[in-house]
Amino acid sequence: MIIKKEWMIPLLKIIFGIGIIMTVIWGYVFSGGAKYMYELTCISNLAAGLILIVDGIFYKSEKASFLYLFILPTIMSVFLVTVICTLTRISHFNFSGGFLFMHAINPLVILVFYSLTYPKIDKKTELIRIFTSPLLMIIYLLFDYIRYLITGELIYGLIPNEYLYPWLIIIIGIVIYALLAFMSYGLTRLREKIFELQSKKTSDKPD
């Protein structure tokens, strides 16, 4: 059976999307950690897998493409925090089994697919997507804080409880929002540069 070239990318997206979801099941369900599926690692990876599947099904649909920036800043934050904190020994994160994929590999997979997909959009739409992209992380941090008020514990515990003043929480939220918006801007520019290079290569090919 020969698969047409134009179907390769959407098929790969669906396969990788299913693969990402399977790593979540492997890391949480099969390892007995299903009760921790409220963690950002789980939520961001599940969302990434679903986005790839949706994008593979509705390939080259503008409605599917806008979903990428809603998950990329969050899952890349998971990647950066877990890798940097573990390497510098600030905190320890699990990198065995499914968590190796969820923390270190899956974020890079969805970054690659985002970087190689879809042409440049108009500036207004681009700005809206950049400034709304941190919302998933902000909503999750709000959930974490509400949970802290109920249980007395943060999910990851990166900030000591004695420093969790309301004014400090607001400042942290603003800083994180700004950093993620800036990250989204950088990712958008990266994708634009890649498409410029691809277009140049195509135009330079002899007829």
* pLDDT tens digits, 62-116: 666 678 888 999 999 999 999 998 888 887 888 999 999 999 999 999 999 988 7
Which contiguous run of DSSP H or E holds residue 202?
helix 166-204
Sign, CA torsion 66/24/83/112 = negative
CA distances from residue 172 to 31, 56, 93, 178 in whole angstroms, order as listed? 33, 36, 22, 10
Structural domain boundaries in the chain: 5-204
* Predicted local confidence at residue 123, as pLDDT: 81
Q: Where are the alpha helices (DSSP H) in 25-92?
A: 40-57, 62-65, 68-87
* pLDDT tens digits, 21-42: 999 999 999 988 899 999 999 9
The rounded Cα 194 to chain-centroid distance in angstroms is: 19
* Predicted local confidence at residue 45, as pLDDT: 97
